[in-house]
Chains A and B, each alone.
Chain A
């Protein structure tokens, strides 16, 4: 008996010593390398090379990543930033919020990391950063970039109120050269170069239930806020079409007032119409505004997905579901949208449960699924890459 126990003890000591040794081989974390998938969809084009897709990554996870789809080879590559920038500490950062290409540079707005990552458009190599706290959306004109931020001055008042602003950035030096205060929690931004104006959608998202309901008009020349156009509560995205119209989306208040699309006439700078579609993301291609949404209502305690095309010339809804083959049943949370201007293929992302990999779907112009591919977490923002 005693021998047995001694043997047992010896065995356990050995096992635990082994455990210790095994554990002592603890590795550093690996820098993740890109993964490429072939989707068998080749588009020949003289000037269109592909698109970048920014995955937001859930807040606090530091998992914003950049994917690329190459039209010529039909190859989809996940997570290209880390390999292209191996020495950048903590990779792309926390929560991507907007993606733009201007000139030869790719600009990724990283909201919770408080900066814009500036990269070479062909290689995604780091060029520099623009430090702006709580930065949201970006637009460009001439040599300047304009970036909205929630983190403006705190107002002296009985309640805590912090106004938003637009930062004017010299794209040559990546320095903020001027700021212009706007409304509370400004989101979407659009530049009308011909009219010499910048438009900013004020949301007031931190002030629930006292949302903001205006679009700020900034004069490019003087970089001061000229006036505000009253629209509706909780504004989000902006785009300008070729008919001198500004399209503005509202998130709604999640109770009585639904998410909806509004039209502002830029000649008169006044609200002229609205279209009854819910908007999460949109993409303007010619006179067609492609819209996807995952609207939540407290009335039903449910999300309602929609995939619409709006004719911006006639202010009509062409279709309320451009997906014709039933694939929409498989999409959990439609999140981002983009259209190939040549083929009119529609790209829709599914953010799924926000913490697992999302899915990118490609539909042909008839709304039939061509392919789908796994992305990073919360695939959201597209930028078309021209050669």
Chain B
């Protein structure tokens, strides 16, 4: 890959961790970003006790996950308390959309084929990228494995089998072939099956008049209706020639799952089910004409089918099907005006539409045109980056013979600055500010009964200051990073009461949130040990209703499910063919709603996970990887979301055979 320069200083986080040759290739594909993201890749990612992408992103600073429990339970991610709708998820450079409800269930994305997970605050601070990449308030980039053939090998193959608690059975196959010297093909299939059953325990205590702690009640149960059955198929072709690289990918995911319900008095089981079929094809082509001009083309078509059924005779019967379609095309272009000044222009087109068999369904369509202008200026030890995104969005729908149209025209800017005072670039200061919005989703706007067609976009304004330092001493490397930020969320779309019954809601642009936060990250690598520690402080206050400022009021209360303190630790030790990993997550006390009173209090939780890996080289042809993991070693009983119990201690073992 001689056409791509590797700028180590720009990607200092990477140098911390061991990099194999194929990881270097991943880095090589990447363009220069001003501010390095938080990354998990390679060995660290492979040896994590994580099944899905959601399990991995929990370890990043500033990230909060809403987990409804188990293998199949919904898992959504929120970066810096802005709400999961503000987070963009990109799979091999192209965004995974969900115009229907705006959030991507990261529990649906397997880590099996993923080489790197990166979280960016604000946006990826790169100018040469599709306009969509400028269009979120925070983003997660998932990079899948790319074929790499050592020596004369023309085929790589591997098979992996795992099983464990929750009656989990998971199997995957990978095949990579070199078609020509410049073209390779990769196929990957994965099947997951689990009953989703696990024991949980709910208990409450109180303190009597004499100060004794008394257990009021104590009960155990088995989580029901959490079964999942999922199949993922991926096919990719990668090619390069004449300064051009391209890839084509087809992705298919099919799942059938039960939706576990809230555990409330007398009702612990449910029979709701969800069937998903997600399909997309995407292609990407990047060409460098010379040192100064580069262009990138991206295109995607996706089709998502979702069938939801609630056959419970004690509840309202629901049986609905939703079909979501999207077509997307993008061009991004970069011109190096001089050694120190680059400009880029990108334009994206997307069309989304949603069909459903629901009564009075609005059949919404959305046409999005995005145009971004960005520039990069390097002035000695100061680098500046500015981007301006033009958003032109047209929505149309027709419900009850009433046609509605909605036009959104917005300009959203972002500015990044980086200052590296020393020659070796090991110390850097960075800052960014960005204003962005998220569109109301199709559900917000048109969902039969709750939708509100007069919704406006929901805004975020972010200010961030960061410092990074890389310390190397012999074989020891330490990276230190800290960020402080202030974010304002305005016109937040919230469900509010409608009419005379609590079963009726509507969506309104009424919320305001004031977020002040700080993050500290430490990474260190010694010859046999490496570790990563993260700490996040967040004061995310609900400032929606200044009149509700009484003792039991919501004004200036910490918003729902956001802890003030949270942190994580990842430690791994390697010795010859053995590796031992320890991971720890801590989420401090939280409240279910922004009235921060005892009724809404949720205690802190933390989990300790351990895993042991063994690499076995059988002969020159076959290699084995064995691993065994124990999660939640202390068997802690906790809820992430009120009344959705999480699993206690659980186990998983796996074997991979590679050729």
Q: Which residues of A approach B to under 8 Å, CB–CB? A: 1-2, 5, 8-9, 12, 16, 19-20, 23-24, 26-33, 56, 58-63, 79, 86-95, 110, 112-115, 129, 131, 133-134, 150-151, 154, 160, 162, 206, 208-209, 236, 251, 254, 259, 279-281, 293-296, 301, 303, 330, 332-333, 335, 351-357, 374, 376-378
Contact = CB atoms under 8 A, between A and B. Distances in A.
Nearest to B529: A9
Nearest to A281: B500
B531 to A, nearest CB: 8
B106 interface: no
A301 B497 contact: no
Contacts of B569: 16
A91 B265 contact: yes
Contacts of A377: 599
Contacts of A251: 499-501
A90 B265 contact: yes
Contacts of B634: 24
A133 B314 contact: yes
Given A90-B264, A154-B313, A356 B548 contact: yes
Contact of B216 (A86, A131, A134, A357): A86
A221 B606 CA distance: 60
Interface stretch (B376-384, B485-493, B588-596): B588-596
Contacts of A1: 471, 473
A161 to B, nearest CB: 9
B533 A30 contact: no
B621 interface: no
Contacts of A129: 266
Contacts of A281: 500
B498 A8 contact: no
Q: Which 8 A-B pairs have the closest CB atoms?
A: A280-B500, A94-B264, A296-B499, A90-B265, A93-B265, A133-B314, A60-B262, A62-B264
Contacts of B597: 357
27 contacts: A2-B473, A20-B584, A23-B586, A26-B604, A27-B205, A28-B203, A31-B206, A31-B216, A60-B262, A60-B264, A60-B643, A61-B264, A90-B264, A110-B266, A114-B266, A131-B266, A154-B313, A206-B316, A209-B359, A279-B500, A280-B501, A351-B502, A353-B496, A354-B497, A354-B505, A355-B593, A356-B594
Given A23-B604, A354-B502, A110 B497 contact: no
Interface of B: 202-206, 214-217, 219, 261-267, 313-317, 319, 359-360, 449, 452, 454, 471, 473-474, 476, 478, 496-506, 522, 524, 533, 547-548, 550-554, 567, 569, 584, 586, 592-595, 597-599, 601-606, 608, 634, 636, 638, 642-643
Given A62-B265, A89-B217, A251-B500, 11 more contacts: A1-B471, A16-B533, A26-B605, A60-B262, A88-B217, A95-B502, A154-B313, A333-B497, A353-B496, A354-B502, A355-B592
B500 A259 contact: yes
A89 B215 CA distance: 11
Nearest to A9: B524
A134 B214 CA distance: 34
B480 to A, nearest CB: 9
A349 to B, nearest CB: 12
A79 B316 CA distance: 30
Contact of A208 (B319, B359, B454, B598): B359
B264 A31 contact: no
B266 A115 contact: yes
Contacts of A16: 533, 569, 584
A356 B522 contact: no
Contacts of A351: 497, 502
A19 B265 contact: no
Given A5-B478, A88-B217, A295-B500, A94 B267 contact: yes
Contacts of A296: 498-500, 504, 506
A356 B265 contact: no
A30 B643 contact: no
A221 B407 CA distance: 63
Main secondary structure of the interface of B (DSSP, over half): loop
A31 B217 CA distance: 9
B315 A134 contact: yes
A294 to B, nearest CB: 6
Nearest to A60: B262
A30 B316 CA distance: 33
B604 A32 contact: no
Nearest to A252: B499
Contacts of B503: 59
A357 B594 CA distance: 10
A86 B264 contact: no
Contact of A26 (B263, B267, B533, B603): B603
A186 B548 CA distance: 36
Contacts of B214: 86
Contacts of A113: 264-267
A357 B552 contact: yes
A261 to B, nearest CB: 13
A17 to B, nearest CB: 10
Given A5-B471, A24-B634, A330-B547, A59 B204 contact: no
Given A60-B643, A90-B264, A151 B314 contact: yes
Residue among B264, B533, B603, B605 facing the most chain A CB atoms (10 A cut-off): B264
A92 B265 contact: yes
A174 B365 CA distance: 54
Contacts of A89: 202, 217, 219, 265
Contacts of B598: 30, 32
B299 to A, nearest CB: 39
Contacts of B476: 2, 5
A19 B359 contact: no
A19 B547 CA distance: 38
A251 B636 CA distance: 47
A335 B504 CA distance: 13
B592 A56 contact: no
B216 A254 contact: no
Given A351-B497, A354-B497, A32 B599 contact: yes
A27 to B, nearest CB: 6
A238 to B, nearest CB: 15
B595 A356 contact: yes
A28 B314 contact: no
A378 B317 contact: no
Contact of A30 (B206, B478, B524): B206
Residue among A26, A114, A293, A353 facing the most chain B CB atoms (10 A cut-off): A353
B264 A112 contact: yes
Contacts of A58: 502
Residue among B261, B313, B524, B533 facing the most chain A CB atoms (10 A cut-off): B313
Contacts of B215: 28
A28 B603 CA distance: 8
Contact of B497 (A27, A31, A79, A353): A353
Contacts of A133: 313-314
A90 B263 CA distance: 9
Contact of A31 (B205, B548, B552): B205
Given A1-B473, A20-B584, A90-B202, A254 B499 contact: yes
B594 to A, nearest CB: 7
B209 to A, nearest CB: 11
Nearest to B477: A5
A192 to B, nearest CB: 25
Given A20-B584, A94-B267, A87 B216 contact: yes
Contacts of A56: 502
Contacts of B217: 31, 86-90
A36 B202 CA distance: 27
A151 B313 contact: yes
A376 B643 contact: no
A137 to B, nearest CB: 13
Nearest to B480: A8
B603 A27 contact: yes
